[in-house]
Amino acid sequence: MNAVDTLLSQDLGPGKPLRVLAASGQLGYGIPIPAFRAGMERQPHFVGCDMGSIDVGPYYLGSGKLATSDIITRRDLKLVLQGARAHNVPLLLGTAGTSGAAPHLARTLDMIRDIAREERLNFRMAVIHADVPRDLIKRMNAAGRIRALGNIPPVDDRTIDAAAHIVGQMGNEAFMRALALRPDIIIAGRACDTAVFAAAPIMLGYDPGLSVHMAKIIECTSICCVPGGRDAILGTLEGNGFTLESMNPERAATPMSVAAHSLYEQADPLLVHEPEGVLDVSDARFEALDPRRTRVSGARWTPATQPTIKIEGAEWVAERAVLCAGSCDPRVIANLPAIEAGVRKNVDGILAGSASGYQIKFHVYGTGATQLFPGAALPTPGEIFFLVECLAPDADTAKAVAGVTKQYLLHHGFPGRLSTGGNIAFPFTPPELLGGTSYRYSLYHVIDCDDLAAVFPIEIEDVRGDVSVATA
């Protein structure tokens, strides 16, 4: 019997404990091995991993590249594949390749097939795609069945066409459909973190509120513990609650640390909006079973009447070059606004006729360059760092802008100037570096969806030792 057949044949349900091992909250940054192995020894009914997030910024969704390195991503994939196959338990992985669009999923699948060949592993793999068709979004937009999630410009056909990739976050429905195909492993494109861990319990009849609440906590592995960390965590779900236990003995899941985790990266600690409903944890109870384990109960689930999909899109903005330099001259530091304005004017003058469509952004560290909000006021520093970001339609232009800015910032004259040898210190040469491509999130919206299966199609692939055959 394959892994999902085995899971479904064990007569599991609310009367019996279901052990879920969350191996990674962001696969590809190095899964700690001792805790993962300790977790496998506890005979989990399935293993889940989250592999991505929108938090890393728009570059990865836009470019189709992974945020994690090839070497460590392969290491982590190999670890969880070997572990799950050795115990014949299902492995579920969500948001493949950082952002979960087609190129991220393809790259992840390539690595998995390579590992299968190297390790002589055989398994049946379900692959769930998460690229949302542009014409569907346009239709929903025309029908007024789309809404922005906050301050993002309204969507139009141009925005939809210009996005490099558009993904939708799949929910429990997609994973349940994949589980019904009886695979050994499920590799999903962009997915809700919770769906990876909640779909199988809900399918087995466990309470959806408890299933989603447990999923919400364990998807970050041992971050809900004191001290928080990235070690695997075991969630044991029963009829009226669940128990959390880090697989690293030095981490404790305490009632306070688990409750505090409800706040993490959430605007509202009490209500969690998912595609298929809303999780309400206002009546959740957190009780210590012992110094390292906490039992949680009381969450409630309200199913949505209209299924929706959160969509994410990233659009190309510019190519980037950056200039790195520092200064400890008090007169430079005192005259920064005038120096920046003067340098901009001189650079624009030099580049007129040679370059256009560029932007220069001064990030002056020491003077509030980290601060998003205008109210923050830092004390006058003794030393500053210039990170001058030059954005242009192509990399050559961006580098030209950075080079000219370097020279004019170095030698800019201003009243009271002492340092006529140069205003800035370079840490290395060349101090202007190519900084890749700049993208921005252009879509962060919710659309109504009447046919989830059409948006998140599933393929089955039988991966076998040294040969891989697509069967459906």
Q: Which stretch binds other proteins (CB under 8 A): 301-309, 337-345, 375-383, 420-428?
A: 375-383
Site for other proteins contains 136 (CB under 8 A): no
Minimum separation from the CB atom of position 220 to other proteins (A): 12
Site for other proteins contains 356 (CB under 8 A): no
Give the residue from 366, 401, 390, 320 showing the smallest Cα distance to 57: 320
Minimum separation from the CB atom of position 353 to other proteins (A): 24
Minimum separation from the CB atom of position 260 to other proteins (A): 4
Q: Which stretch binds other proteins (CB under 8 A): 143-151, 155-163, 348-356, 463-471?
A: 143-151
Q: Retrieve residue 27's tokens.
A: 């696969």
Distance of CA 208 to CAs 180, 193, 214, 274, 440, Å? 18, 15, 10, 12, 35
Do 424 and 323 form a contact (C-beta atoms < 8 A)?
no
Binding mask 282-311 for other proteins (x = CB under 8 A): --x-x-------------------------
For other proteins, the binding residue among 27, 77, 79, 259 (CB under 8 A) is 259
Residues paired with residue 186 on neighbouring β-strands, in sequence order: 92, 126
- Of residues 276 and 319, the one with the C-beta less far from other proteins: 319
For other proteins, the binding residue among 374, 379, 416, 421 (CB under 8 A) is 374
Q: Where are the alpha helices (DSSP H) in 304-381?
A: 330-334, 336-351
Minimum separation from the CB atom of position 210 to other proteins (A): 17
Give the residue from 234, 252, 250, 260 showing the smallest Cα distance to 292: 252
Q: Report the alpha-carbon distance of residue 101 to residue 169 in Å, rounded.
A: 10
Site for other proteins contains 336 (CB under 8 A): no
For other proteins, the binding residue among 356, 370, 380, 407 (CB under 8 A) is 370
Site for other proteins contains 266 (CB under 8 A): yes
CA angle 53, 455, 464 (to 5 degrees): 75
Main-chain phi, psi angles of 110, to 5 degrees: -60, -45
**Following DSSP, what letter does each residue of 69-83 receive, concatenated?**
-HHHHHHHHHHHHHH
| Chain centroid, CA 233 distance in Å | 19
Do 264 and 223 form a contact (C-beta atoms < 8 A)?
yes
Q: Report the alpha-carbon distance of residue 213 to residue 471 in Å, rounded.
A: 36
Q: Report the alpha-carbon distance of residue 246 to residue 454 in Å, rounded.
A: 38
Q: Report the alpha-carbon distance of residue 392 to residue 336 in Å, rounded.
A: 24
Q: Which stretch binds other proteins (CB under 8 A): 68-76, 255-263, 399-407, 457-465?
A: 255-263
Site for other proteins contains 318 (CB under 8 A): yes
C-alpha atoms less than 13 angstroms from C-alpha of 169 in its C-beta half-sphere: 26
Site for other proteins contains 260 (CB under 8 A): yes
For other proteins, the binding residue among 268, 287, 383, 396 (CB under 8 A) is 268
Site for other proteins contains 59 (CB under 8 A): yes
Give the residue from 195, 231, 214 showing the smallest Cα distance to 25: 231
Q: Which stretch binds other proteins (CB under 8 A): 138-146, 162-170, 432-440, 450-458?
A: 432-440
For other proteins, the binding residue among 150, 415, 421, 427 (CB under 8 A) is 150
Binding mask 228-247 for other proteins (x = CB under 8 A): --------------------
Size of the site for other proteins (CB under 8 A): 45
Minimum separation from the CB atom of position 90 to other proteins (A): 30
Cα dihedral sign, 273-277-281-283 = positive
For other proteins, the binding residue among 359, 395, 425, 436 (CB under 8 A) is 359
Site for other proteins contains 361 (CB under 8 A): yes
Site for other proteins contains 271 (CB under 8 A): no
For other proteins, the binding residue among 215, 439, 447, 452 (CB under 8 A) is 439
Using CB under 8 A, list all residues that contact other proteins. 54-59, 149-152, 256, 259-260, 262-270, 284, 286, 317-318, 359, 361, 363, 369-376, 378, 389, 391, 438-441, 444
